[in-house]
């Protein structure tokens, strides 16, 4: 037979433990969710900066490829470095579009130079060679934003 005083004491200790466990568990879950959102925010910001760097480097190199022949590899090396970072962080769709954009730049360097008049005529048709890459990036960032919610 159990001592009634001991039973009362155990019930009181058990109730106190159960009562204390609720706020601790709640705080843990809230902190975990906050850290996950913060991590996703950092990931999104990192990718936005990476994609911006790629578009800036690739656009400058594409413009150069229209009017000059490849004289040095510095621009392609810098673009290749950004492309390598994209390979590390991005989805397959973004990587594929980035590679297509780089290949179009390399191909354009092999083509005859474009005059300003040729550029004016072609502008409505080929205004944004980066559009496929930009669209893939937008889709990926929207998907990551949905994961954040």
Q: What span, in angstroms and rounded, lies between the C-alpha atoms of 125 and 62?
A: 16
Alpha-carbon distance 67 to 45, whole Å?
A: 34
More confident residue, 123 or 14: 14
**Domain carrying residue 34:** 4-148
**Residue pLDDT, tens place only, 116-149:** 777 777 665 555 677 888 889 999 988 888 766 5
Domain count along the chain:
1
pLDDT digit string (tens) for 15-74? 787 777 788 778 777 888 788 888 888 998 999 999 999 999 999 998 888 888 888 888
Rounded CA gap, 82 and 98, in Å?
Answer: 10
């Amino acid at each position: 037979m159990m001592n009634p005083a001991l039973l009362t004491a155990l019930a009181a200790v058990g109730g106190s433990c159960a009562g204390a466990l609720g706020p601790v568990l709640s705080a843990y879950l809230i902190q975990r969710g906050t850290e996950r959102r913060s991590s996703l925010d950092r990931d999104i910001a990192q990718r936005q900066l990476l994609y911006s760097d790629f578009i800036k480097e690739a656009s400058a190199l594409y413009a150069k490829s229209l009017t000059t022949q490849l004289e040095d590899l510095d621009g392609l090396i810098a673009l290749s470095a950004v492309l390598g970072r994209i390979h590390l962080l991005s989805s397959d769709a973004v990587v594929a579009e980035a590679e297509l954009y780089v290949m179009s730049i390399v191909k354009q360097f092999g083509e005859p130079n474009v005059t300003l008049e040729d550029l004016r005529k072609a502008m409505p048709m080929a205004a944004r060679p980066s559009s496929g890459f930009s669209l893939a990036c937008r889709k990926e960032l929207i998907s990551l934003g949905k994961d954040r919610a």
